[in-house]
Amino acid sequence: MPQELWLNFTDEKGEAKRVLVEGERFSIGRTPDNDLQIALGNLSRQHAKIERFADVFIVSDAGSSNGTFLNDERVENPVALKDGDNLNLGGGVDIKVELASDKPNNQPPPADDEDEDEEDIEPAAASASAANGSASSGGSSFPIGLLLLIPLLGGFFLLVIVGVLLIANRNSGPEVAENGSNKGFVYSKNKDEEDDPPANEKTPEKTETPINNSSTPITNSNSATPSNGGSSPQSTVEPTSTQPPSGDTQKVEVNSTMFLRRIAKSDSKIFLPTKNVPTLNSKINQLKGSSALAENLRNAKKSAAQIQKMAQDNSFTPEFLAIAAITKLGSQSGDVVATAQGMVGALSGLRVPVGNELANDSLLMIAAYEQGVAGQYLTMRDLLARECIPKNNPGVSCREIRTIWFLKENGKISDSQFEFALRFLAIGTIAQNPKDFGVQADPINLN
C-alpha cells in the first residue's frame, strides 16, 4: 500500500496535533494560504514545503527567515524524510515525522541479479510450502512477506492468485528498471504536470527556468537534465520538455524569471507560467522601442547606491523600487531616484497588508499602487482574503488566487491595475538584459 506521512507536533495553542500530508505539494507556514498553518511569529508566511514523488517525501526550506532543521541540521538542499525524523521550523516548532512504513523507496528490482534473488527467497518459499502441506518449486521468486501470509489466510485458491500476480509483476520488471525513479528526483513540479507526455502531444507548462544573478546571458533554459538531490533549490532545473524554447519566448521566460526572483524578499523558485508569456511578450514589444525607457534604465544604474539605500531603509528590494519608479515615469525620461522617493510612502503602506516576500505579492502591490496613493491600503488585502475563502473559489489554492493573472481573468482587478502591473513586469524583464530586447542600455543589477 502507498506510504502515508504524518506530522506530529504541538501547535501555537499548546495542543497536540497529528496531520496527514496529502497531495503532491504540502506547504507549512504562518498564514492561512498554507496546507498547514502554524500561527507562530518565528515562522515565515510560507516556511517549508514537502513534496511527494511516489513513496518518497522531500522536505525543503521555502526561503524562511529563521530556517528549517532536520535532525538538528539546517536544510540547505531538498532532502528525503525518514520515519522518526525530527523536523524543526524556525527554532520554535518541533515536528516528529511518522511514515506508515519505513521500507526502502524508489529502488527498482536489480536487472541482472535474478539468481541471487532466487537463492535468498528459496528457503522461505520452501518453509511456507511445508507449512501448507504442499510442494513448492525450488526456484520460486515469491516475496517472503506474501508467502508467509499463505498459512494464515489458507487455501490453495489464494496461492494460485498470488502466483498469477507474481508472474505478471515479473513480466513488468524490466519496465520498472528502465523507468524507475532512481534516475533522479525532481524537486519542484506543477501539480498538473505529466512526467512523460506523449511525443505527439503538447508539453505541459514547464516548472522552472534556471537563472543566474549576473548579466551573463543564460541559454538552453529547458535542458532535460534531471535535478540532483545535492543541488540547491535555487539552482535546480525541472524540465518538462526536451525541446528548449527559442527566440523571444526563451528570452522572456529567462529574464522574467530572473526579475521575479529579484523583486521578492523570499521566493527563490518563482517562474512565469508559460501561458502568460505571450501576454508579457506583447507588452515588451510595445515598450522596447522607447528611447525614454533606455534613458531611465541608464539613470537607474548610475543611481544604484541611492536606490539600494532607499530600498534597504523601506524593506524593499532595490530592483523592485527602481523598476517601480521607471514604470511610473512611463514614456517620459526623468529622475528615477526622485520618482522612487515619491512612491515609497504609498508602497510602504501596502507592504504590510499585501506583503512582499513573494514575487506575486510584489506584483499585487504595484497593481494596488493607486489605491495606496489614495490611502486605501487595506482594499487589496480585503479582496484577497475574500477570494481565498474556499467557497468563493472552490478547488483553487490561495497562492494561485493571489496573482494578477487570476484576479484579472476573474474580473477582480481593473484593466488599469492589471496594465500597470504588466508594464512593471515587462520593464523589469527588459532590465535584466536590455540588449536581448534591442534596448541600448546595460543591465542595472541592483540586487
Q: What does the alpha-carbon distance between residue 88 and residue 71 come to, in Å, rounded to a whole number?
A: 8
Least confident of 85-89, 271-275, 320-324: 271-275
> How does pLDDT run across 20-53, given as a tens digit for each residue?
999 889 999 999 899 999 988 888 999 999 998 8
Q: How far is it, in rounded angstroms, from Cα 149 to Cα 160?
A: 13
Q: What is the pLDDT of residues 325-378, one digit of tens each?
A: 999 999 999 999 999 999 999 999 999 899 888 899 999 999 999 999 999 999
Give how far Cα 328 sits from Cα of 40, 340, 356, 370, Å: 37, 9, 19, 11
419-431 tens-digit pLDDT: 999 999 999 999 9
Question: Within 13 Å of residue 137, how many CA atoms lie on the same side as its CB?
Answer: 7
pLDDT of residue 165: 58
Which of 4-13, 222-231, 310-319, 352-361 comes out lowest in average pLDDT? 222-231
Q: What is the pTM of this model?
A: 0.50
Average pLDDT of the chain is: 75
What integer pLDDT is reported at residue 381 of this predicted model? 92
The CA-to-CA distance between both ends of the chain, in Å, stands at 48
Residue 220: closest CA among 206, 233, 231, 209: 209
Q: What is the mean pLDDT of residues 236-259?
A: 63
pLDDT score of 147 more than 60: no
Checking if the pLDDT of 270 tops 50, the result is yes
Position 272 confidence tier, pLDDT thresholds 50, 70, 90: confident
User: Which tens digits make up the pLDDT trace of 177-205?
Assistant: 333 333 333 333 333 333 334 434 443 44
Its sign, for the CA torsion 405, 275, 251, 419, is negative
pLDDT more than 70, % of the chain: 67
Block residue for cell numbers 497588508: 353
Mean pLDDT of 388-409: 91
pLDDT for residue 391 is more than 50: yes
The 10s digit of each residue's pLDDT in 287-340 is 999 999 999 999 999 999 999 999 999 999 999 999 999 999 999 999 999 999
Lowest mean pLDDT among 165-174, 196-205, 274-283, 334-343: 196-205
